[in-house]
Chains A and B, each alone.
Chain A
Amino acid sequence: MSQATILFLIIAAFTGLSAVAVLVSQNIVRSAVWLLFTLAGTSGVFFLLGADFVAATQLLIYVGGILVLVVFGVMLTAQGPFITMKVGAAEWVIASVVGLLLLGVLVMSMPGPEAFGSSEAAPANAQVSSSTQLGETFLGLPGAMPEANVSGLPKTATAVPRTRVSYLLPFEIVSVHLLVVLIGAAYLARAKRRKGGLP
């Protein structure tokens, strides 16, 4: 086994077991901690796949942002009975059967190595994409995209070169969407003035 394989096995086992622990732990605070480990392990998987920028973004936004939000939600609502909410044994049995079946279906339906026409040349010597290339792809600059044909066509069809696309407009839409959502969230969660009633 090569070094990369051992590293992948360690990180994948860490991530998968943490995900299972999020599911099975009854205490919501412990679930949050296991979720932290899962998200960090996912970022390690991204680093293994050579996606540096996505991995760094995962660390910043998920581990740094979303998880803090979740922990604050836990702290604001964790009172007595809500910290541990028990689930019945029968539900556990049904859930594990359904989960194993779903996992089996997903694993069975995976594409084999022949699914992509040109994938045999891919793994070892594929040029690792840097964040500069990622930025050029967003801008749609010429030369940022790899020259390639559209994959998935039947063998007899003539090769169709793919067109150059820019992801600038989706990026703008997503950023405006995020702004609107954050304003909406702040509006929804604002402190309300109670009219008399509760202290």
Chain B
Amino acid sequence: MSEVSLDHYLVLGAVLFVCGALCMAMKRNAIGVLMGVELVLNGANINFVAFARYNPVFRLEGQVFALFVIVMAAAEAAIALAIVLNFYNNHMTVDVDTAEELKG
């Protein structure tokens, strides 16, 4: 490996994505699930910016979309934390396994 190429950045993005997906699936704490979502969005963002760097046609679009993703992530974190706090107020726990009132 003498020169950093697009694939190296994509591997890094894939590692972040897999960690985030497993985090979402495994954590029992609702805030841990939220951290997994943040990791997944970061992996996607690395891919966007890497494509922007290595494909000259999308030199600016990649960064524009990365900015949109960051703003969406901020909105998502705010609303998810509000829901978690509401859940905690009503149930006195943040264990996602106990949220089963909608189970048929």
Contact = CB atoms under 8 A, between A and B. Distances in A.
Contacts of A137: 60-61, 64
Given A51-B66, A95-B26, A2 B3 contact: yes
A69 B18 contact: no
Interface in A1-23: 1-2, 4-5, 8, 12, 15-16, 19-20, 22-23
B69 to A, nearest CB: 10
Interface string B56-80: 1101111110111011111101110
Nearest to B64: A167
Chain A CB count within 10 A is highest, among B1, B57, B64, B72, for: B57
Interface of B: 1-12, 14-23, 25-29, 31-32, 34-35, 38-39, 42, 45-46, 49-50, 52-57, 59-64, 66-68, 70-75, 77-79, 81-86, 88-89, 93-95
Interface of A: 1-2, 4-5, 8, 12, 15-16, 19-20, 22-23, 28, 31-32, 35, 38-39, 42, 45-46, 49-51, 53-54, 57-58, 61-62, 65-66, 69-70, 72-74, 76-77, 82, 85, 87, 91, 95, 98-99, 102-103, 106-107, 110-111, 113, 116, 118-119, 121-123, 126-127, 129, 133-134, 137-138, 144-146, 148-151, 162, 167, 170, 174-175, 177-178, 181-182, 184-186, 188-189, 192
